[in-house]
Chain A
Amino acid sequence: MIEIKDLYKKFGKNEVLSGLNLEIGEGGIFAVLGPNGSGKTTLIKSILGMVIPNKGTITVLGENIKSGSDYRHKIDYLPQIANFPNNLKVKELITMIKDLRGNVDLDEELITLFKLEPFLDKKLGNLSGGTKQKVNLVLTFMFDSPLVILDEPTSGLDPISLLRLKKLIQAEKAKGKTILITSHIMSFVEEISDEIVFLLEGKIYFKGTITELKDKTNQPDFEHAIASILTDNHA
C-alpha cells in the first residue's frame, strides 16, 4: 500500500525525519505513535505530498507520489486541526469539496451518523470544536478511498461520537481499507489498532503488534510498554 524508502526531512537545522523506512501492507489499522516532535505529522504530510522531503521516495499504491497529484484520489485525509473558511456554511463546504473531488452520496449517511443535520445551515465559524471535528470526519470518510489517514481523529469528540467513530473505523477496516491513525490516547490506540509503528528521533523504532511490543519491553500493559520505550531512550 505505502512504501517509504530512506526518507529525510529537515526544517531549517531541525532534522525531523532521518532515513525513515516503512512498508505498510494492504488492509488493517496502523497506529503511528511517538513522542511530541518525533515526526508523525511530518511523515503523514510527506505521504500526502504537503511536505516535500529532502531525500527518499514514497510510493502509494505502486505510484511514486512525485509523478502527480492523482494518487490523492485514493487517499482520505483527516487533518489534525479542523480549520475551515469561517464564512462558509457546512452544506456549502460539503458541496464544494464534492465539486472539487468528484460526486459521492455517502455524505448523507455520515451526516446522519454524526447527527449533523441541525448544523448544515450554520456557518463554520460559529461551530464548536467538536462539531467542526465531526464535519471534518464527514469530509474525510465520504469519498470511500482505499487508504484513510487520520491525524488525531478523537480530538474534541464527545463519548458518543467517539463510540460512533470507533464503529465507523472498524466498518471501514472490514471493507478491506488501510487506515493510518496517529493519536496520543493510548486506550483508543490499544482498542482499535492491529499494528503499531513507533517513531523515535525521525526513525522507526518499532513496528509490530501490541503483544509483540509488550514482549519486547517486558511490560504487562500497553501504556507502560510505551512509557518504558520513552524512559529507556531519555526522550
Chain B
Amino acid sequence: MLKILKYSFYDLMRSRWSYVYFAFYLLLGVVLLFLNNDLSKAVITLMNVIIVLVPLIGTIFGVMYYYNSKEFTELLLAQPLKRSSIFLGQYLGVAISLSMSLILGLGIPFVFYGLFMSNAIWDFSLLLITGTFLTFIFTALAFNIALSNENRIKGFGYAILLWLFLAIIYDGVFLMSLIIFSDYPLDKLSLVGTMLNPIDLSRTLILLKLDISALLGYTGAVFKQFFGTNLGLIVSFVALTLWVVLPVLRITSKAKKKDF
C-alpha cells in the first residue's frame, strides 16, 4: 500500500492542480493578513472560506483522480497486489497531497506573520486540523461515489450534489426544522443535527474555540456547554474520525466486489 501511496502522491505533486491549489491558499493567506492586519480576524475569515472550499476541492479532486487513473488502476489490478491496498493507497495519496497544499499554503504566510508569537496559534491549528479532517472525509466520499458510478458525468453530478447538500441544503433544512418545531425543546436535536454533518461540526468547533459563541444566543450557550468541555471536544473528534473511517471501510468493501 505504501508504494501505491508513494506513486499516487508523487503523481499528484507533479500535477499542475496541486500547485494551483497551494498557490491559492498562499495568496488567500497573504491577502487576508494584509487586509485584516489581525491574526484572529484572519482566522475567522479563513474559516468561512475553508469550511466551504475544502470539501468542494476534496470531492472534485477525489472523483477526478479516480476517473483519470482508471486505466492505471487496471494495470495495477493485474499485478500481485491486494485490491484494498491499491485503492487505499490512491485515496491516501490524494488526501495527503491535498492536505499538504492546505497546511503549507496557509501555514507559510501565517508563520511569517508571527503566528508562533501570538495566542491565535491554537485557533489556527484547530482550523488546519478540521481542514485536514474535511479533506480526508470528502476525498473518501468522492472515492465512494466514483467507485459506485462507472459513468463519469453521473459520478461528477453526484459528487457536486453531495457537496451542495452538506454545505448548503443541510443547513437550510436544519434551520427550517428548528423554526417549525420551535415550540419544543430543541437543544438536543440541534446538537445531534450538528454532529451528523461534518461541515457543520467543523464550523461549530472553530466558532466556539474563537469565543464568539455569545453571538449565537441561547443555542450558543447550550453548544458552548457541550463543545466547550473536553467531553464535547472528544465526541466531536470521534464523530469526525467516524466520518473518515466509515467511507474508507466502504471503499475497501466496494473495491473487493467490483469488476474491472
Which residue numbers of A lie inside 8 Å of B, CB to CB? 11, 45, 48-52, 69-73, 75, 77, 79, 81, 83-85, 87-88, 96-97, 99-101
In the complex formed, the residue of B with least CB distance to A80 is B74
Contact (Cβ within 8 A) B80 A101: yes
Contact (Cβ within 8 A) A84 B72: yes
Contact (Cβ within 8 A) A51 B260: yes
Kindly state whether residue B154 has any CB partner on chain A within 8 Å: no
Contact (Cβ within 8 A) A79 B79: no
Q: How many residues of B contact A (CB 8 A)?
A: 23
Kindly state whether residue B69 has any CB partner on chain A within 8 Å: yes
Q: Mind listing 7 A-B residue pairs with CB under 8 Å?
A: A50-B259, A50-B260, A69-B80, A70-B80, A85-B71, A100-B76, A101-B79
Kindly state whether residue B174 has any CB partner on chain A within 8 Å: no
Contact (Cβ within 8 A) B259 A84: no
A-B pairs, 5 with minimum CB distance:
A83-B71, A72-B80, A77-B78, A51-B259, A50-B260
Contact (Cβ within 8 A) B81 A50: no
Contacts of A101 in B (CB 8 A): 79-80
Q: How far, in angstroms, from A79 to B81 measured CA to CA in the complex? A: 16
Q: How far, in angstroms, from A71 to B82 measured CA to CA in the complex? A: 11
Given A50-B260, A51-B260, A87 contacting B79 (CB threshold 8 A)? no
Contact (Cβ within 8 A) B259 A79: no
In the complex formed, the residue of B with least CB distance to A68 is B82
Contacting A73 at CB < 8 Å: which of B72, B76, B77, B80? B80
Contact (Cβ within 8 A) A45 B260: yes
Kindly state whether residue B14 has any CB partner on chain A within 8 Å: yes
Kindly state whether residue B15 has any CB partner on chain A within 8 Å: yes
Kindly state whether residue B215 has any CB partner on chain A within 8 Å: no
Contacts of A85 in B (CB 8 A): 11, 69, 71-72
Q: How far, in angstroms, from A15 to B258 measured CA to CA in the complex? A: 17
Contacts of A70 in B (CB 8 A): 80
Contacts of A84 in B (CB 8 A): 71-72, 75
Contact (Cβ within 8 A) A99 B71: no
Taking the closest CB of chain B, its distance from the CB of A145, in whole angstroms, is: 10
In the complex formed, the residue of A with least CB distance to B80 is A72
